[in-house]
Structure 1
Amino acid sequence: MRTAHSVETVRAAERALMAELPEGALMQRAAAGLAAACADLLPRVYGARVVLLVGSGDNGGDALYAGARLARRGAGVTAVLLAPERTHEGGLRALRSAGAQAVPVDGAAPVVARADLVMDGIVGIGGKGGLRPDAARLVSLVRESGALVVAVDLPSGVEADTGEVLGDAVRADATVTFGTYKPGLLIDPALTYAGAVRLVDIGLSLPPAPDLEALQYADVAALLPEPGASSDKYRRGVVGIAAGSATYPGAAVLAVAGALRGGAGAVRYVGPAADEVLARFPEVLVHAGPPSAAGRVQAWVVGPGIGDDAARVADVLAQDVPVLVDADGLRLADPSVLRGRTAPTVLTPHAGEAAALLGVSRESVESGRLSAVRRLAAEFSATVLLKGSTTLVAPAGGGPVRVNPTGSAWLATAGSGDVLSGLCGALLSAGLGGVDAASVGAYLHGLAGRRAASGAPASASDVAGALPAVWRDVRG
């Protein structure tokens, strides 16, 4: 599992390790990893033109020591000093001893224009509020040069703990981060500024509970339900789908598709789209309603395409089984009922729905996704899956937020969220907890989106159809 830790946690771990090491040893570890990563990105080090953008903190010191290492291997290295009087002294001495040069900001233009690689050491993980004007002008020169940009620890100008970008920031082709991932490197919008991220182990001892975590193949494979010799359709999990309306029957069909492809032993459908559901999936058990009279289920999905049928939503929420609420269900659900449920509840809003639930603008949710998903989980006592370019899953009782590393821009298509709801509902019915069901569902859904699209448009039905293949890939 990939994990990320907050600035405060990283700082504490660094202080503890520095107390055990000779002075400067930790920075040398970071610089060695940074220099090696840059060397890997260059066609060759000897003769390469490398420019360092050096701020006043330890981030600039990392860049200077790494630049000295590259200079000793034959690179032509120039450091642009944004604050000459506050530049890391040891790093600057090492750079000059290696035969490299340093110039002030007003001498940056000609060296940046010829650079093969630019190392961003302007601001470290403690930076706030975007780049200052002189740094922003320098970064604009870098952008015009077309040089390869490598960020030191994280791109300057992005918020390490939240992934917010509150002003001008560096857009890196690659980021070399130290000790652990920083939350901002895994969350949009900062994620798009980081490029390819490489983690350098510098020996930090970190607490077992991270601030952010991302499942990988092995984690998902371990969580996927698998029927045993004694399994029957009921033991595998029965999921109820309360979705669709006369206006939106397709939402019911797609949610059912996600549930069937998500491993449910049986699917019970309640709603006015029974004919459409049965025409596509004759194995589904249909009922006229209300949901509470449809028969035993281990979990419910309510809301996709349900229109204004508040009674169906209320009936589902009154049942003492896990419930996933999506789409229209988020608008129709009584907040006090959501907060008062004792069985697990999963909410799956997109940014607009999250904004309506929180009473804020959509823009504020999109720019601060991590804080928004945490606030939703706390306010509604529910697991929250916040959909979007970076899908986040926050647990109801606090703890690490999961970020989904899979997906494709082609998933931004009508009905894709209905498939995800059914898939997550099936995993809930199989016995997975809210956080696991939501994060595993998002992971598989993202893989299915990639497979279905393969670089071309794909429909939500295509995504549902690709789920068995990606399930096999993960298990294999």
Structure 2
Amino acid sequence: MRTAYRVETVRAAESALMARLPEGTLMNRAAAGLAAACAELLRPGLGRRTVARVVLLVGGGDNGGDALFAGARLARRGIGVNALLLAPDRAHPAGLAALRAAGGRGLAVADIAPGALTTLLGRASMVVDGITGIGGRGGLRPVAAELAERVTASGAPVIAVDLPSGVDADTGEVRGPVLPATLTVTFGTLKPGLLVDPARQHAGDVRLVDIGLRPLLPVEPDVAALTPAEVAALLPRPTGESDKYRRGVLGVAAGSARYPGAAVLTVGGALRGGVGAVRYAGPAHAAVIARHPETLVSPGTPAEAGRVQAWVAGPGLGDHPEAERVVNEVLAADVPLLLDADALRGLDPARVRARSAPTLLTPHAGEAAALLGVARERVESSRLTSVRELAERFGATVLLKGSTTLVADPAGPVLVNETGTPWLATAGSGDVLSGLAGGLLAAGLAARDAGAVAAHLHGLAGHAAPMPATASGVTDALPTAWQSLTG
């Protein structure tokens, strides 16, 4: 599991470790890892110029110190290093002295003419961003923002120290100007903002440098991402004693006369969720049986469909009078339940919290905004906060779809899916995901695991589907996704 911790937790672990080590050890470890990453990118053929020149952007915190000590290591290798000091009176004194002793230069940004600054950045093979650290809040201040614009315009690759300046380490929010990175070199542990959009999209590739924090961090992280091996271990597998009922039966209440395709796609995902059988109940039964003849279909409501181990309800239900009855019946069922799309409209948190069986909600940003009573932009800009609020409000597991798919329980770490692709932003893709997650619920997975595993498989299938991907193509690629995990 790839784990990430909040700033408060990281700082506590750093303080405990520094108390055991000689002064400066931790910063030297970080600087060594940062310098090694920079040197690797500066190898012949990888730099922008035959003569390697590195520009450091140095703020007043420890990130600036990391950049200065790394710059000193690079200067001792014969690389030209210039440090642009945004606050010269607050620059790390030992780091600046080390850089100058190694042959590098420290220059106050305020003392450099605009033309000279443009020339300096234009000649740089690489820019190292040490402006703000993990404690930074809000966007870059005006002087730093102007410098970031010049760096971006120069086209030089940017190496971020710990995380890109201008992003929130704890939430992944971006509240103002930011300096996007080509590579982020982070220390000790990942920070949530490196896994969650919108901050994640500014981080580029992420490299973790071990500085000895791991034994001092809590067992339970704040945010985590399952590895492929962990996902594979959770996949349901039949045994010699299995039959279609022991493997689980999923009920699907989706689709309508107007939206029969939603039922077809949801059932398609469900059939690839590891279950033994799928029961479909609803008006799109003819379309479902035509596309998926293995489905057990009935034209009635969920209460009339027969016994199931879990229900999926919502995709394509529309707003016809029967839709409310369908949602009421599945809410009353004492089995795990996934609610999506139209089943989320006007959903009462009290009814969800009153259920004795697990509930998994799978909204996109617009649906999440309606459930929270906020603007969609607020959900998209603060995805981590929003998914936690939803899980707490409904007392349920919530899978928030989008550029970063997140799965949250009322307690415990939020799981991040790292396999997604923008090609999954296509009509019906969410219906496939709901069916797939519902199948995993019926096969016996806990709601959080079902959501995380489904998102992982769905992302893999999005990559494997013929381009440009369609929901049907994603459905057909799900077996390939399973095989890639199970071998």
**Normalization by structure 1: what TM-score?**
0.98
Q: Which residue does 1:287 correspond to in 2?
A: 298
Cα deviation for residue 408 of structure 1 reads 1.1
Q: Which residue does 2:101 correspond to in 1?
A: 97
Residue pairs, 1:319-338, within 5 angstroms:
319-338=333-352
Q: Which residue does 1:197 correspond to in 2?
A: 206
Q: Letter of the aligned partner of 1:75 in structure 2?
A: I
Q: Helix, strand or coil for the counterpart of 1:233?
A: coil
Q: In 2, are the aligned partners of 1:71 and 1:99 still within 8 Å (CA)?
A: yes
% of aligned pairs identical? 67
Q: Letter of the aligned partner of 1:314 in structure 2?
A: N
List structure 1 runs of 4+ shifted beyond 6 angstroms.
Answer: none
Q: Helix, strand or coil for the counterpart of 1:188?
A: coil
Q: Which residue does 1:452 correspond to in 2?
A: 465
Q: Helix, strand or coil for the counterpart of 2:245?
A: helix
Q: Which residue does 2:133 correspond to in 1?
A: 124
> CA offsets per residue over residues 287-328 of structure 1, 9 Å max, x none?
222212211111000000011211001101100000000000
Q: Letter of the aligned partner of 1:7 in structure 2?
A: V
Which of 11, 25, 48 aligns to 2:52? It is 48
Residue pairs, 1:379-458, within 5 angstroms:
379-395=393-409, 397-453=410-466, 456-458=467-469
**In structure 1, how many angstroms separate the alpha carbons of the residues matched to 2:283 and 2:232?**
36
Q: Which residue does 1:268 correspond to in 2?
A: 279
Q: Which residue does 2:19 correspond to in 1?
A: 19
> CA offsets per residue over residues 186-210 of structure 1, 9 Å max, x none?
1110011000000000000211000
Q: Helix, strand or coil for the counterpart of 1:103?
A: strand
Cα deviation for residue 411 of structure 1 reads 0.5
**In structure 2, how many angstroms separate the alpha carbons of the residues matched to 1:154 and 1:359?**
32
Cα deviation for residue 463 of structure 1 reads 0.2
User: Are 2:239 and 1:234 equivalent residues in the alignment?
Assistant: no
Gaps of 5+ in 1: none
Residue pairs, 1:350-369, within 5 angstroms:
350-369=364-383
Q: Letter of the aligned partner of 2:416 in structure 1?
A: V
Q: Letter of the aligned partner of 1:318 in structure 2?
A: A
Cα deviation for residue 263 of structure 1 reads 1.8
Q: Letter of the aligned partner of 2:385 in structure 1?
A: S
**In structure 2, how many angstroms separate the alpha carbons of the residues matched to 1:335 and 1:381?**
8
Q: Which residue does 1:371 correspond to in 2?
A: 385
**In structure 2, how many angstroms separate the alpha carbons of the residues matched to 1:273 and 1:332?**
24
Q: In 1, are the aligned partners of 2:272 and 2:479 still within 8 Å (CA)?
A: yes
Q: Helix, strand or coil for the counterpart of 2:465?
A: helix
Q: In 2, are the aligned partners of 1:313 and 1:333 still within 8 Å (CA)?
A: no
Q: Letter of the aligned partner of 1:183 in structure 2?
A: P
Q: Which residue does 2:359 correspond to in 1?
A: 345
Cα deviation for residue 110 of structure 1 reads 2.7
Q: Letter of the aligned partner of 2:221 in structure 1?
A: P
Moved more, 429-438 or 40-49: 40-49
Q: Helix, strand or coil for the counterpart of 1:15?
A: helix
Q: Letter of the aligned partner of 1:262 in structure 2?
A: G
Q: In 2, are the aligned partners of 1:51 and 1:80 still within 8 Å (CA)?
A: yes
**In structure 2, how many angstroms separate the alpha carbons of the residues matched to 1:290 and 1:414?**
25
Cα deviation for residue 113 of structure 1 reads 1.9
Q: Which residue does 1:62 correspond to in 2?
A: 66
Q: Letter of the aligned partner of 1:59 in structure 2?
A: N
Which of 159, 170, 180 aligns to 1:161? It is 170
Q: Letter of the aligned partner of 2:351 in structure 1?
A: V
Cα deviation for residue 117 of structure 1 reads 0.2
Q: In 1, are the aligned partners of 2:349 and 2:393 still within 8 Å (CA)?
A: no
User: Are 2:154 and 1:145 equivalent residues in the alignment?
Assistant: yes
**In structure 2, how many angstroms separate the alpha carbons of the residues matched to 1:221 and 1:306?**
33
RMSD (CA atoms)? 1.0
**Normalization by structure 2: what TM-score?**
0.96
Q: Which residue does 2:90 correspond to in 1?
A: 86
**In structure 1, how many angstroms separate the alpha carbons of the residues matched to 2:309 and 2:383?**
31
**In structure 2, how many angstroms separate the alpha carbons of the residues matched to 1:428 and 1:149?**
43
Cα deviation for residue 261 of structure 1 reads 1.5
**In structure 2, how many angstroms separate the alpha carbons of the residues matched to 1:319 and 1:239?**
13
Cα deviation for residue 416 of structure 1 reads 0.3
User: Are 2:244 and 1:244 equivalent residues in the alignment?
Assistant: no
Cα deviation for residue 391 of structure 1 reads 0.3
Moved more, 106-115 or 462-471: 106-115
Q: Which residue does 1:299 correspond to in 2?
A: 310
Cα deviation for residue 282 of structure 1 reads 1.1
Q: In 1, are the aligned partners of 2:340 and 2:362 still within 8 Å (CA)?
A: yes
**In structure 1, how many angstroms separate the alpha carbons of the residues matched to 2:165 and 2:342?**
40
> CA offsets per residue over residues 266-290 of structure 1, 9 Å max, x none?
0000000000000011111112222
> CA offsets per residue over residues 170-201 of structure 1, 9 Å max, x none?
10001000000000001110011000000000
Q: Which residue does 2:32 correspond to in 1?
A: 32
Q: Letter of the aligned partner of 2:83 in structure 1?
A: A
Cα deviation for residue 332 of structure 1 reads 4.9
Q: Helix, strand or coil for the counterpart of 1:130?
A: coil
Cα deviation for residue 109 of structure 1 reads 3.2
**In structure 2, how many angstroms separate the alpha carbons of the residues matched to 1:449 and 1:234?**
30
Which of 204, 220, 223 aligns to 2:234? It is 223
> CA offsets per residue over residues 116-136 of structure 1, 9 Å max, x none?
100000000000111000001
Q: Which residue does 1:470 correspond to in 2?
A: 481
